[in-house]
Amino acid sequence: MLVNKFKLKYGDKPNLGKYIDNEVAKYLKNDRLTEESLRQLDTKISNQASLREKQTAILDDHRSGRASSRPASQRGSAKVAGVFDAQSVRSRSSAGSRRPAADAISQASSQRAPTEVYSEIAEDDQWAAIQKFNQLLHFEEQKQAIMREQERRRLIRSELDQQVQTKKEREANLRDEQAMYDRLMEEHVKLLGQRETDKKRQQHDKIMAEKESRDRQLNEEKRKKRTEDKMAFKQECEMVDRLKAEMEAERHLQAQKRE
């Protein structure tokens, strides 16, 4: 899917299509599939496509300029020079300097057929095209280096911002945890105070209940004692009345006996 997407976006030329295949395979093998990594891969392929378009445009301009300025008999050597230009480009991109491109041109020139003759003007055009393309590559490398440096700084700044944000979130979480801990401690202290109050109230209620029970017992004993005293007093009164009656009857009997 990624290969088809990039080929539809940047074209499906043979050299660029193979490059896209290799880059996507390398990406899926080494990197994680994230939005940032996909953006970096897209930028890399876009830069390579632009570079190859500029390379093709320079070579086409060079070929068209030489074809219009030289007779038809020298157009065959212009095609060979285009091949030499491509070889110099590949040598330049693999070695990373200007000297390998010149060596490739010199070696190709030494191995050409004896029937191929290049004029001094054609060689100057080739060297001018190579020099122009090398300057373009140099400027492109400088641009890529600046972009890489900017990307590196952006990533560092993003990482620092992320670390600062993480630190702020961690501090906020610590403050929230501390506030929650303080709130729990306050609730715990309130709960302990409530339990202590309930315990004291229960003890007070127990003491009052025992006191009330003792008071009821004392009152009951007092009531029973008053009742017993009343009954004893009544019995004593009845006994006194009975004794009085008996004494009165005894006196009456003695009076009758005396009569």
H or E segment to which residue 88 belongs: helix 75-95
- pLDDT of residue 214 exceeding 70, the answer is yes
Average the pLDDT over 230-256 and give the result.
90
Q: Is 126 within 8 Å of 81 (Cβ atoms)?
A: yes
pLDDT tens sequence across 130-172: 777 778 888 888 888 899 999 999 999 999 999 999 999 999 9
DSSP state of 114: T
User: Where along the chain do its domains lie?
Assistant: 2-174
Q: In the prediction, which pLDDT does 87 show?
A: 42
Q: Dihedral sign for Cα 126, 132, 135, 140, please.
A: negative
Q: In the prediction, which pLDDT does 68 show?
A: 52
pLDDT tens sequence across 172-207: 999 999 999 999 999 999 999 999 999 999 999 999
